[in-house]
Chain A
Amino acid sequence: EAQVTQNPRYLITVTGKKLTVTCSQNMNHEYMSWYRQDPGLGLRQIYYSMNVEVTDKGDVPEGYKVSRKEKRNFPLILESPSPNQTSLYFCASRRLRNTEAFFGQGTRLTVV
């Protein structure tokens, strides 16, 4: 089954404790992105990648890191999480720029 898999789905952590949210897709898609969703703000792009070893900043990259060492994986790293990073996070992939994006099931992150 074609899918984007994110883990974990729920995470509660403390300020400053490094964490990684994993994302993997099995559709051989070139493009992968991370978004955060906040009430009243919709989805905002954090980082994106158009190919292996190619990543770039989206609209809200501060406090986040990503890597794309393999085509299928695109982890999101929070080196020192802060409470303002409490949000719902989505990983997405797509084959071409003008095709639909496939989303993971989301990760609800709470930083206390």
Chain B
Amino acid sequence: AQTVTQSQPEMSVQEAETVTLSCTYDTSESDYYLFWYKQPPSRQMILVIRQDAYKQQNATENRFSVNFQKAAKSFSLKISDSQLGDAAMYFCAYPMNRDDKIIFGKGTRLHILP
């Protein structure tokens, strides 16, 4: 069965510094996608970044980038130049190819220290 594991329940980073959030997953599927979602205090779920497993190049969206290691089944999120607005819960997510199921990790709460 597919699983998604986020091993860091909470993290803190100084404003303007760089932080990396970890995510590992397990799947028997060969072609898939991975997402990082952000949930700020407003509770809204916001897509941060998407990685297509068939692409070797790591996805990047402005200050957000991923380190995707397919063989190791690792999908970490790097936030550069952290800002106060980055404080949120971050969820790693794996959408399964069948059904309409998205498997979420348990989340990492990120604190930004001014």
- The interface of chain A, by Cβ under 8 A from chain B, is 31-33, 35, 40-45, 48-50, 56, 58-59, 88, 90, 92, 94, 97-98, 100-101, 103, 105-106, 108
| Closest B residue by C-beta to A57 | B99
Task: Please state if B43 and A43 are interface contacts (CB–CB under 8 Å).
Answer: no
| Closest A residue by C-beta to B103 | A45
- Minimum Cβ distance to chain A for residue B51 (Å): 11
28 contacts between A and B (CB under 8 A): A33-B100, A35-B104, A40-B9, A40-B106, A42-B104, A42-B106, A42-B107, A43-B91, A43-B102, A44-B104, A45-B101, A48-B99, A48-B100, A49-B100, A56-B99, A88-B43, A94-B95, A94-B100, A97-B95, A97-B97, A97-B100, A98-B32, A98-B95, A105-B42, A105-B43, A106-B43, A106-B44, A108-B43
Interface string of B28-57 (1 = CB under 8 A from A): 000011010000001111010010000000
B112 interface residue (CB < 8 Å to A) = no
